[in-house]
Each structure stands twice: as structure tokens, then as C-alpha cells.
Amino acid sequence: MRKVELLAPAGDLERLKIAFTYGADAVYIGGEIFGMRSAAKNFSKEDMIEGVNFAHERGKQVFVTINIIPRNDDLLQLKDYLLELQEIGVDAVIVSDPGVFTYVKETIPNMEIHISTQASTTNAASAAFWYNQGAKRVVTARELSFEEIKELRENTPADMDIETFVHGAMCMSYSGKCVISNHTTGRDANKGSCAQSCRWKYTLMEEVGPGEYKQVLDDIDPEFFFNSKDLCMIQYIPEIFDSGITSLKIEGRMKTAYYVATTVRAYRMALDEYYKDPENWTFNPMWLEELKKGSHRDYSTGFFFDRPDSNSHNYKSASYIRNYDFIGLVKGHEYETGLVIVEQRNKMYVGDKIEVIGPFKETMHATILEMYNEDGDPIESAPHARQTVKMKLDIDVEKDYMLRKPITVLNI
């Protein structure tokens, strides 16, 4: 049967490796220039080479974003950068600007090109235009419904890929074209420096007379009225297949390795179950619960079924929901002692009841029985950021498994 690509974000080399380990088919990354997430750690040339080699050894792919809205001076470095990407061996570049597209075709004509969601492709004619120019893939605008995507699929060449965001943060502005950040902070959202000013608290006032103002939306307090909920489509795998989408894209190059692991793992499980028996696939609530154990906002279905209404925004808070702490990443084993080597990510204690996740594995429960520092001295807690600890657990774990524990809320 037809299979879809699971495409994950990777803000750095660690997250790239975690994405592939936990089941992604491809990742999209940014270099140190030309990407829409300048605040992400992003990839140096050396890291990009290592990441591409890691992917290709596993039959996976790496796509690189070149999707800023450039000015003339931005283009001065572009040809050299494109030649570097070709030399490294990346599998495709993601572009939104026709000028950048032209540079790619002229400079590295054999490179696969994907048209970014920033290009606002909302119809079959636009998609076909890009295909006829030489694009292999179109990333649809986030403002399309399943019905519109299906119609686009039916009226475009069969070998053109359709990539669509199915999970992650939603932008309140059309296809991400926004200047609120520019106005409030001077940071250019269309060149990768969005300050997410839409997540701030605002008061909306109406002038009802000279020097006289009335608060609008005064039934909403506080007024985070630009604050979109996150997108989550894990419950709708059959609808995704029926629409003709060929690549499922997860948002989040700014997110942590733990976010990448939990999100990729949940969608991987849902997709693999669908492949086993599409006709009898049923949604497993556990997959959604796993997604909720990562940092997230309340979820919505975006534009997929209808235009968003007030239920697609969270007017009360712009804060992320965090019910679990990612406390450690398994780095290996000390075979002479049988202890597990863990890189600490949040404070943990001997005696903690924890959960353990691994690629293609059900969630496991464990207890931290013993802990030692790098010198082998026993310790009761691991309070220092990214310290290496050795521990004894009551279950077997493998490299790249992740440890987490529920956040305890104190009622004072």
C-alpha cells in the first residue's frame, strides 16, 4: 500500500539523530543562514556533513530550508551556499521565493526543490506552476482543508509530492507572513527572527468618543487573543491518506530533543498500525496521551475540517502545558558494573518512580534504585545541568532511551 513520509524538525545534530532513531523518514534543518528559525541552534557545515551521512547510512533524507523572504544583499552569499549544500549531499532544499528558486535551478540544477509553506500554495494551478518550473514537492499553506488538499491532489501530476503540516504550533498570520514581531521588537519574522509577539497579552480598546475608550472583548481576561492553539492530527490518519498527502510534517525546529522523540514516536506508532490493517485501523488514545507528555499548548485541528473559530485560540494563557520533566538521556552502559550511563536533563533522585520511552517501544515504568557520579561515588540526586551519572534501574534500557517523570504540583 502507499506509505507516507514522516518528516521531523531538527534544530541541531542531536535532534536530527534522535528524530531518525525514533522513526522519522526525513528531517528538515536549517543552516547558519537563509532559514526561517535563526534562533534555533542550526547546523554548521561540519554538523550538516555528519547529519547527512548519519541519515544516508540509514536510508533517510535531509532537507535544508532556504525559505526566508530575501532582500538583494541576502542573495550575495547564496550561490556559494548552494554549491556547499550540493557538495555535502543534502537531498532537497526548501524555498519560498521565486528569485531563490531561480538561483537554485541555475547553480545546482540537479537539486530537488520543495516549495515552502511560506509560498502560500492554496490551489492546484499554483502547485502545477511550481511543478512545471521544476519543483518536486509543494508544502501546502496551513489554511487548507482536507477537501481542498484532495482537490489539489486530483488536479496535479501524480509524481508531485504534497507535504502538509499535521502537528505543532500554528501561526495566527496567513502562511506565516507576519510583521507584528518587526513592529514590537524590530526582529524580522520573515528572515527567521520572529519574537512570537502574537503570544503576548494585549488589551484591545475602541475609541467611542474624543479621548474616551472602551475595552473590547472585556469578557476575555487575560486577552491573549492572537494566541493560536497547537495543531494535532494524530486522530485522523485515514483522512490524511484519503486526501492524498504524501509527507506528514511536524513543526518545531526550536523544540527540544525530547519533544522530537515523543512526537515522532507517537506518529510512527499510529502510522505503523495503519499500515497493518487500514480498513480496521482505530485510534489509540495512548498516542494522544504520549503527545501530551511533551511540552504543548491545547490542541486543535486547524483548518483541516473547517475554518478555525474561537475554539482554535487559547485566550486565557500563552504558556505551554508541561506535565512531565525530561530528566535524562541514556548514553550507554558501563558493562563492568552493569550501570546505565545517563546524561541528566532535569533534577532526579534515587527512589524516583519514572517512565522510560524508546523507539518502537511501549512506555515502560521504572525506579531509580542507585545513582553514582562520574567518579563512582554514590549520590542521592543529580542536580547539575547535563551532568553524567551512572544509575541502576529495575528494567533494561538501551542507548537513546529517554527518562521522564511527572511534574509534582505543590498545593500551598
DSSP 118: G
Q: Helix, strand, or coil here: 194?
A: coil
Asked whether residue 411 carries a pLDDT value surpassing 50, the answer given is no
What Cα–Cα distance (Å) separates residue 331 from each residue in 111, 344, 387, 388, 399?
Answer: 36, 10, 12, 9, 5
Nearest to 92 by CA among 72, 52, 64, 119: 64
Given a contact cutoff of 8 angstroms between Cβ atoms, the answer to whether 393 and 366 are in contact is: yes
What whole-number distance in Å separates Cα of residue 359 and Cα of residue 220? 42
Greatest Cα-to-Cα distance within the chain, rounded to the nearest angstrom: 81
Is residue 385 a contact partner of residue 338, using CB atoms and an 8 Å limit? no
How far is 14 from 43, CA to CA, in rounded Å? Answer: 11
Alpha carbon distance 77, 56 (integer Å): 27
Which structural domains are found in the chain, ordered by start?
5-170+230-306 (3.20.20.70), 196-228 (no CATH), 324-406 (2.40.30.10)
Per-residue pLDDT reduced to its tens digit, 5-50: 999 999 999 999 999 999 999 999 998 877 555 544 579 999 999 9
158 — pLDDT class (breaks 50, 70, 90): very high
- Provide mean pLDDT across the span 268-274: 98
pLDDT at 314: 76
Please report, rounded to a whole number, the percentage of residues in the chain having pLDDT higher than 90: 71
Contact of 191 with 69, CB cutoff 8 Å? yes
Q: What is the pLDDT of residues 197-224, one digit of tens each?
A: 777 788 778 888 898 888 876 666 557 7
Sign of torsion over alpha carbons 129, 133, 136, 140 = negative
Average pLDDT over residues 53-62: 98
The three-class DSSP label of residue 387 is coil
**Helices (runs of H) and strands (runs of E) counted in the chain:** 10, 20
Average pLDDT, the chain: 90
Give me the pLDDT at residue 32, please.
Answer: 81
Task: Give the model confidence (pLDDT) of 292-343 as tens digits.
Answer: 999 888 899 999 998 877 677 777 777 788 899 999 999 999 988 999 999 9
Task: Encode pLDDT of 78-125 as tens digits.
Answer: 999 999 999 999 999 999 999 999 999 999 999 999 999 989 999 999
Contact 124, 152 (CB under 8 A): yes
Sign of CA dihedral 257, 22, 347, 252: positive
Q: Mean pLDDT check: name the lowest of 97-106, 148-157, 226-235, 262-271.
A: 226-235
Out of 151-160, 310-319, 376-385, which region has the weakest mean confidence (pLDDT)? 310-319
- Of 62, 54, 53, nearest to 28 (Cα)? 62
Looking at residue 205, its pLDDT comes to 82
Is the pLDDT confidence value at 284 over 90? yes
